[in-house]
Amino acid sequence: MLLLGILLFVLAVVIGLPISFALLLASAPTFLTGDYLPTSIAVQKMVQVTQSYPLMAIPFFVLAGNIMTESGIARRLVDFSRVLVGWMVGGLAQVSIILSLLMGGIAGSAVADTAMQSRLLGGPMIAKGYSKGFTAGVIAYSSIITATIPPSIGLIVFGFIANVSVGKLLLAGIIPGLILTVALMGYTYLAARKMGYGAEDVELPTWGDVYRSGKAAFWALMFPIILLVGFRFGFFTATEAGAFVIVYALVIGAFVYRDLKWSNLWSALQQSLSDIGMIMLIIIMAAVLGHVIVLEQAPTRLASALAVLSDDPTVTLLLILGFLVVAGMIMEATVNVLLLTPLFLPILQAQGHDPIHFGVLMVTIITMGGNTPPIGVGMFTVCGMLKVSIKDYIKGSTPFLLVMLSAFLFMALVPNVVTWLPNQMMGK
Amino acid sequence: QDYTMRIGSVQAESDPIIKGFNKFKELVETGTEGSVEVMVYPNGQLGNTQDLMDQAQAGANVAAFTDAMRLASFLPKFGIIGAPYVFADYDEADKFTSSDEFWSWADELKENSGFVTLAFNWYQGPRNLLTNTRIESRADVEGLRIRTPGAPVWVAAGRTLGGTPTPLDWAEIYSAMQLGAIDAVEAQPAGIVGSRFYEVADYLTRTEHIQLITGIVVGETWWDQLPSEHQDVIRNSAVEAGRYMSDLVIEQSKKDFATMEENGMTLSDIDLSEFKEVAAKEIEALDLTEAYENVRAVVDGD
Amino acid sequence: MSLYSSLRWAEAVVAALVLTGVVALVSWATVTRYLGHPNIWVLEVTQVLFAWTCLLAASIAFRRSSHFSVSLLEELLPPKLRGLLRLLQQIVMLVLLVVLGWVGLDFVEVAHRRPLPLTGIRFSWVAVTIPVACMLMGITCIENIVRELRTPIETGSDEETS
Ligand code: NA
Ligand code: NA
């Protein structure tokens, strides 16, 4: 049934059905012919998605991105970064990476970050001549940093399932997050120089220029900082932070910058609804397909085939991580962590691997899978919002994928970069 | 085999709950001579509790593992099973949920909801209070924002402790406790250790306000097509496996408390009389006084 | 105003209100909790509204054709056949929506038996979003099919003669 499902999925994509409908069609055979499942359970799986509290972060950050765009906050942010890094090549792309690092402290979800930045930075980048594929690539891949910087919902889920210290896991994510940041910025610099992106003002900015545009963008620059402070002092939780960004953007846009009018607000709302509908329908339908994949026991069968392959700890780790890359390409992140952790962790621990090390790698790799074909909510989100074709996306984003895979390989072979910080702070 | 029953929960293979399911499987399959097969799904493979309850209600051959508060939406008096200071320990709870009085409630529940109760003596341990400040009397809890699940009986339990009940998604508790968005959590030992709350809370006060007792339900559509001799075997097996599982939990709880202490938590006892007084008022406010008296009559009688 | 455009208008207004409501309620819950007076029912109401946000938004996106798709075949086909392909897409989607909407009604029946614990709101208020969204998107499908059938006759007649 799964095979028939895959066939239907491909067929639906080829004739040009929306991805959400293709996902629905792919799970239809199992539900319509299943021996025990009442068909209405497919609907229950859909409804259950809309009852997931952490998922609310997605609409929040989408709306925040649109309001910031409509209220002049985004424009000031872009102006300021132009002055600051405009002489540098690839300035706006670097802004996207740094912003993900900062937002990682609040937005626990990579898709929410991708959705917000598509609206906030995607448009300006394309307008400045960045290719669509590159723009989509940098926005999507830099959002993976949010999965490593605390609080990462993925790491918390892993901690519960693997029964390891969540505190240690969260600390362990910090250095990998910084490594990914540096690696992505390095590639962005080289690529942007080669393609001549950014670098519109040849001369270095004067302190006066920096001060003036910095002052104009002050409230825009404060938003990640205020959020970070509000979160650290227990004012709101990771999900609620999203709602707070909206309130902040509304207040600044309407009363400080006075660029936000009722008509802007209305169009921000309508644009957001259209974005939210596109993203959420994909997530809803992917949840149904995820359930089908579980029912057909596909991951269990594959994983047990893999488990017997090697006695060498390093080879086993690399094989399993490779498997995770593939699994991430197909299945949704939380489902992957829930299902695969209990299968792989015992094997690795028996061979002497540290669960903290594995956890950080696993969660990051699985999250990255959301950016890769054939199924990836992050990819569908950025491509749908910026109207980028999959072909352009693959062309523009594959280098980012390769950079990230090299960073993972490094972290896999040198476990200390992951485990050093938590062991220093919390003991072995 | 002629019938298949699927049972699942979010816990891992090593958890007493899954061990209890495996015991149940063994008892049912021997008892029906293989005519009823039980398939056990750990790690939330079939979905979460609410998913499974919906599936059972929709007619799937799925059994859900659920607490009394969820069922109280269909039959309010079921809530008393999870209300504060009703049972002193597991034996009292087991005595009530094995009584004829309880099984007549189960029949009413079936009428109202379509859920057939197989057993309701699966113990998960006492719920205790976790904070970052030392608690010596009920007054120390006043003003603390305490996370409780969102159901009336749970909320009443939070008030009984003296705190301000605050609903929050389970996944957000850890960081909310760490950063101070909430001040207190209440949970059973396995929940505390499983979610590593000892990393974000310094004190455990043994309030034992709820003896968390859970059960197994299936949907009537599926149940009614089983031959009655199979039904008897399944029910008896569920009750027996429940006792087996509860013993494991009681053993495991001792280890869990030790784990908390090893990780730097301070565990302390507290005088319960003040809490019990408030509990009686909360039960009255929930309109559960009659149910409470029925329960106590069964437990105190012989 | 035609029936279709007033429907579209109502949908846009309701969806905007519901989304605003979710943001307002979550902010309200945050502030009141911080001040030490948390609202216990807010979470439940928010989740009901969140379901409506998602599904009404899905319909709005559908109307704007912003659901993400891969236009591989359409680019390869000669212009004459493109209209036919679009027609096929709409028909397949309409069938899927009708089936899903129908199955969705079954689930509404199950969900209606379950009240949410604090507010007593029936879960069917959440479940019904699926059939409603199917209906709204189905109407858009029919609208698209009608438009496709009306547009330049020569495409259709070319098909039949060649
Ligand atoms: Na980014
Ligand atoms: Na993917």
HEC secondary structure over C68-115: CECCHHHHHCCHHHHHHHHHHHHHHHHHHHHHHHHHHHHHHHHHHCCE
Chain C: give the shortest CA distance to residue A207, in Å: 39
The closest CB to that of A384, out of C26, C68, C129, belongs to C68
CA B117 to chain centre: 14
Top residue of A13, A61, A276 to mutate, by most chain C CBs within 10 Å, is A276
DSSP state of C41: S
pLDDT in tens, chain A (428 residues): 778 888 998 899 888 899 889 989 988 888 887 665 677 778 888 998 888 777 787 788 888 878 887 887 877 877 777 677 666 677 788 888 887 777 665 555 677 788 888 888 888 888 888 889 999 999 999 989 888 887 676 787 787 677 777 778 878 888 999 999 999 999 998 888 888 776 655 567 788 888 887 887 788 777 777 776 777 777 887 678 788 888 988 998 888 888 888 998 998 899 889 888 988 898 888 888 877 777 776 666 666 666 666 678 888 888 889 888 888 887 666 667 766 787 788 778 878 889 999 999 999 998 898 888 887 888 988 998 899 988 899 999 999 999 999 999 999 999 998 988 888 776 65
Residue B23, pLDDT score: 96
Asked if A113 and A143 count as a contact pair (C-beta separation under 8 A), the reply is yes
CA A327 to ligand 2 centroid distance, Å: 8
pLDDT in tens, A130-179: 889 999 999 999 989 888 887 676 787 787 677 777 778 878 888 999 99
Asked if A320 and A282 count as a contact pair (C-beta separation under 8 A), the reply is no
Token pair of A342 as six digits: 């209990």
Q: Pairing mode, if any, of strands B115-131 and B164-166?
A: unpaired
Report CB contact under 8 Å: A237, B47: no
Chain C: give the shortest CA distance to residue A216, in Å: 27
Residue B272, pLDDT score: 95
Q: Residue A299: beta bridge partners? A: none
Chain B: give the shortest CA distance to residue C131, in Å: 17
Nearest Cα residue to A269 out of C118, C16, C145: C16
Distance CA A296, CA B74 (A): 33
CA B55 to chain centre: 20
Top residue of B54, B66, B172 to mutate, by most chain C CBs within 10 Å, is B54
The closest CB to that of A244, out of C27, C51, C89, belongs to C27
Q: Is A167 at the interface with chain B, CB within 8 A? A: yes
Distance CA B64, CA B70 (A): 11
CB-based contacts of A389: which residues, under 8 Å, 6+ apart?
A132, A383, C70, C71
Q: Residue B129: beta bridge partners? A: B186, B205
pLDDT in tens, A284-306: 888 888 777 777 766 666 666 66
The closest CB to that of B43, out of A165, A232, A338, belongs to A338
Sign of CA dihedral A315, A319, A322, A324: negative
Asked if A155 and A109 count as a contact pair (C-beta separation under 8 A), the reply is no
CA end-to-end span of chain A: 47
Where would I find the beta strands (DSSP E) of B188-230? 203-219
Report CB contact under 8 Å: A274, C64: yes
Report CB contact under 8 Å: B166, C118: no
Nearest Cα residue to A270 out of C3, C4, C15: C15
Top residue of A9, A13, A17, A375 to mutate, by most chain C CBs within 10 Å, is A17
Asked if B249 and B153 count as a contact pair (C-beta separation under 8 A), the reply is no
Token pair of A212 as six digits: 């003036």
Q: Residue B147: beta bridge partners? A: B166, B185
Chain A: give the shortest CA distance to residue C162, in Å: 23
Distance CA C81, CA C75 (A): 10
Number of Cβ pairs closer than 8 Å across A and B?
Answer: 86
Q: Pairing mode, if any, of strands B115-131 and B145-147?
A: unpaired
Chain C: give the shortest CA distance to residue A349, in Å: 39
Distance CA A311, CA A336 (A): 24
φ/ψ of B266, rounded to 5, equals -100, 120
SS (H, E, C) chain B: CCEEEEEECCCCCCCHHHHHHHHHHHHHHHHCCCCEEEEEECCCCCCCHHHHHHHHHCCCCEEEEEEHHHHCCCCHHHHHHHCCCCCCCHHHHHHHHCCHHHHHHHHHHHHHHCEEEEEEEEEEEEEEEEECCCCCCHHHCCCCEEECCCCHHHHHHHHHHCCEEECCCHHHHHHHHHHCCCCEEEECHHHHHHCCHHHCCCEEEEEEEEEEEEEEEEEHHHHCCCCHHHHHHHHHHHHHHHHHHHHHHHHHHHHHHHHHHHCCCEEECCCCHHHHHHHHHHHHHCCCHHHHHHHHHHHHCC
Nearest Cα residue to A247 out of A26, A67, A404: A67
- Chains with 3 or more CB pairs under 8 A to chain B: A, C
Is the preceding omega at residue A151 within 30 degrees of 0, hence cis?
A: yes
CB-based contacts of A116: which residues, under 8 Å, 6+ apart?
A61, A62, A64, A65, A103, A107
Distance CA B178, CA C106 (A): 43
The closest CB to that of B61, out of A36, A150, A231, belongs to A36
pLDDT in tens, C21-77: 999 999 998 899 888 888 888 888 999 999 999 999 999 999 988 777 776 677 788
Distance CA B90, CA B253 (A): 13
pLDDT in tens, chain B (302 residues): 789 999 988 777 788 999 999 999 999 999 999 999 999 988 777 777 888 898 888 888 899 999 999 999 899 999 999 999 999 999 999 999 999 999 999 999 999 999 999 999 999 999 999 999 999 999 999 989 999 988 889 999 999 999 999 888 777 788 888 888 899 999 999 989 988 899 899 999 999 999 999 999 999 999 999 999 999 999 999 999 999 999 999 999 999 999 999 999 999 999 999 999 999 999 999 999 999 999 999 999 87
Distance CA C21, CA C13 (A): 12
Q: Which of residues 83-142 of C touch B (CB under 8 A)?
A: 106-107, 110-111, 113-118
Report CB contact under 8 Å: A38, B195: no
Asked if B114 and B220 count as a contact pair (C-beta separation under 8 A), the reply is yes
Residue B13 sits at the vertex; the CA angle it makes with A1 and B51, to the nearest 5 degrees, is 55
Q: Is A27 at the interface with chain C, CB within 8 A? A: no
Asked if B46 and B6 count as a contact pair (C-beta separation under 8 A), the reply is yes
SS3 B226: coil
**Chain A partners within 8 Å of B58 (Cβ):** 38, 40-41, 44
Nearest Cα residue to B208 out of B43, B84, B122, B92: B84
Distance CA C136, CA A46 (A): 17
Q: Is A165 at the interface with chain B, CB within 8 A? A: yes
Amino acid B83 reads A
Distance CA A146, CA A160 (A): 19
The nearest alpha carbon in chain C to A243 belongs to C23
Look-up of token digits 């919902």: A153
CB-based contacts of A10: which residues, under 8 Å, 6+ apart?
none
DSSP string, A119-157: IIIIHHHHHTT--HHHHHHHHHHHGGGGGTSSSPHHHHH
Token pair of A198 as six digits: 């950014």
In a 13 Å sphere around the CA of B47, the CA atoms on its Cβ side amount to 28
Token pair of B232 as six digits: 């008897």
Report CB contact under 8 Å: A17, C15: no
Distance CA A49, CA A58 (A): 12
Residue B38, pLDDT score: 94
**Chain B partners within 8 Å of C40 (Cβ):** 150, 155, 165-167
Is the preceding omega at residue A374 within 30 degrees of 0, hence cis?
A: yes
Asked if A408 and A364 count as a contact pair (C-beta separation under 8 A), the reply is yes
Chain B: give the shortest CA distance to residue C128, in Å: 15
Report CB contact under 8 Å: A275, C43: no
Distance CA A397, CA C9 (A): 38
Token pair of A388 as six digits: 């980028």
CB-based contacts of A171: which residues, under 8 Å, 6+ apart?
A150, A421, A422, A425, A426
Task: Kindly state the helix (H) or strand (E) to which residue B147 belongs, with its residue range.
Answer: strand B145-147
Asked if A196 and A89 count as a contact pair (C-beta separation under 8 A), the reply is yes
Q: Is A238 at the interface with chain C, CB within 8 A? A: no
Rg (CA), chain A: 22
Q: Pairing mode, if any, of strands B145-147 and B184-187?
A: parallel
Asked if A421 and A205 count as a contact pair (C-beta separation under 8 A), the reply is no
The nearest alpha carbon in chain A to C69 belongs to A18
Residue C158, pLDDT above cutoff 50: no
